[in-house]
Amino acid sequence: MAKLLFPLRGVPEDEADEVRDLLAEQDIDFYETSAGNWGMSMPALWLRNDADLEKARSVLDAYQQQRFLTARENYLQLKKAGRQKTLLKGFTEKPLLYSAYILMKVLVVYVSIKLLFELGL
């Protein structure tokens, strides 16, 4: 019976490609399901053979740990160089867009509170 190994919803395409390549390199038999035409199904990588689950899980865990360390190192280098994206930098780059976001959030909070008091709750 097939076993779910790696859900693909929200996974960057480069990571999904690397996981597919890694499983192929390790000769782990898997197949992929898509989200379907309307995006309702579960995109994922599935193992055909239950016996491969332990090996695949250990390979995938090692890969994800390495990816985490690489991403963390990249983040620290950007932060050290002063190129890491922050809220203040984003606001200074696109002040109108960020002002519109803030205005919409304030509006949603205002309408929510106003309706709450009008209904007497």
> Could you read off the pLDDT of 62-79 as tens digits, one per residue?
999 999 999 999 999 999
| Distance set, CA 81 to CA 70, 73, 78, 91 (Å) | 17, 12, 5, 19
> Any idea where the domains of the chain sit in the sequence?
1-83, 85-121
Question: Of all residues in the chain, what percent carry a pLDDT higher than 90?
Answer: 84
Q: Is 75 helix (H, G, I), strand (E, B) or coil?
A: helix
pLDDT of residue 119: 84
Average pLDDT, stretch 111-121?
Answer: 87
CATH topology of domain 1-83: Alpha-Beta Plaits (3.30.70)
* pLDDT tens, position by position, 40-62: 999 999 999 999 999 999 999 99
Of 4, 100, 111, 112, which Cα lies nearest the Cα of 50?
4
For residues 30 and 8, what is the distance between their CA atoms, to the nearest angstrom?
14
Pairing relationship of beta strands 44-47 and 3-7 according to DSSP bridges? antiparallel
Write the DSSP symbol of residue 51. G
